[in-house]
Structure 1
Amino acid sequence: MDENGFWLLIENCGPGVPDPDAEHLAATLVARLAAGPLSEVIGFAEHLAWALYRLDRREYGRDLSGDAFLYTRAAVVAAGREAYKRVRGDPADFVPYATGLVWAESLIYVPDRAYEQITGEEWGRNTRYSYESASNAAGWAD
């Protein structure tokens, strides 16, 4: 899966109406990924981690707890490519996600759930980039 495929999958699996906790998106993504090859699950996990890592910056998360910051970043990703680009281009566009408490925790677990459906086993996955809050040292440097 390339970056374009990642964003197309996010957009094609969205409910078309506001989905404040991204439950519909997550369930649809799991079903779609679990119906395909394991390589797609791995590719999705890598692109999700990269997208979250790129938002892991002081200017976005300085006033949020670690979990709140992670789930808020996931909400930005769940909103799609254009919303993600806007937020990356202007940290002020992150504020409505952070102050509205629009979280998308369920998006974080999509690769794990799809992997388990395909293999019947838990996935002790590691991705190239960590999506955990404050893992992007360069993004938090003074």
Structure 2
Amino acid sequence: MNPVSEQYRPAMSWDRFWQLVERLGVAEDGRVNCADLDDACEDLAAVLAEEPVEQILGFGERIAEALFTLDRAEFGTLPVLGMTEPGGSPFPQSDDGFLYSRAAVVAAGRRTYESVLGHPERFAPFTDLHAEAVLYIHEEAYEQATGEQCEHVTFHDYETCSNEAGWPRVFA
């Protein structure tokens, strides 16, 4: 599903990652109350904290890779659903908003994530959703498990426009 280089081998399998994500209980359309998502992320962090540290960091690697894969111009240039500029033109996603929308796609689970890839129209409903708490699940789990702050830097950078292949006009 996602390309993996020879030097990059996360400890957590994709199957295990998606099993854990399912525990968030987010509907396939990504709609969830923010407080409920925050609670679900805390619960998942507690479950993940019981795993070996390599698995906790592997979860973080999988989140980063999934977000990196969604970091594409065809998704990031979509306007925010239901919002317009004062003059009536479409309201663009901010860099952070786009990141949090990608996190909402991941939180909605494997089937939603895989169905969105290559289909911007399926990403569009997520442009007004923000699942920022998903980004910190592995960090919270790490802190619970070790008593230390997580200093791990993931192999994939998931900030907006980090995926050069996904933004060919920007990096041409």
Give the TM-score normalised by structure 2: 0.76
Match of 1:95 among 80, 101, 124: 124
Over residues 66-89 of structure 1, what are the superposed CA-to-partner deviations in whole Å (9 max), with x where a residue is unaligned?
Answer: 100000000000000011011113
**Other-structure match for 1:80:** 109
Higher helix share: 1
Higher strand share: 2
Give the TM-score normalised by structure 1: 0.91
- Computed over aligned residues only, the root mean square deviation of the Cα atoms, in angstroms, reads 1.4
Distance in 2 separating the partners of 1:130 and 1:81: 20
Match of 2:97 among 68, 72, 85: 68
Distance in 2 separating the partners of 1:123 and 1:67: 21
**Other-structure match for 1:53:** 68
Percent identity of paired positions between Structure 1 and Structure 2: 42
Cα offset, 1:24, TM superposition: 3.2
**Other-structure match for 2:21:** 10
**Other-structure match for 1:19:** 32
Is 1:125 aligned with 2:152? yes
Cα offset, 1:16, TM superposition: 6.2
Give the match's secondary structure for 2:93.
coil
Over residues 84-121 of structure 1, what are the superposed CA-to-partner deviations in whole Å (9 max), with x where a residue is unaligned?
Answer: 011113111000010xx211000001111111111111
Highest relative contact order (Cα 8 Å, sep 6+), 1 or 2? 1
Q: Give unpaired runs (5+ residues) of structure 1.
A: none
**Other-structure match for 1:107:** 134
Q: Is the 8 A contact 1:25 1:78 kept in 2?
A: no
Cα offset, 1:64, TM superposition: 1.3
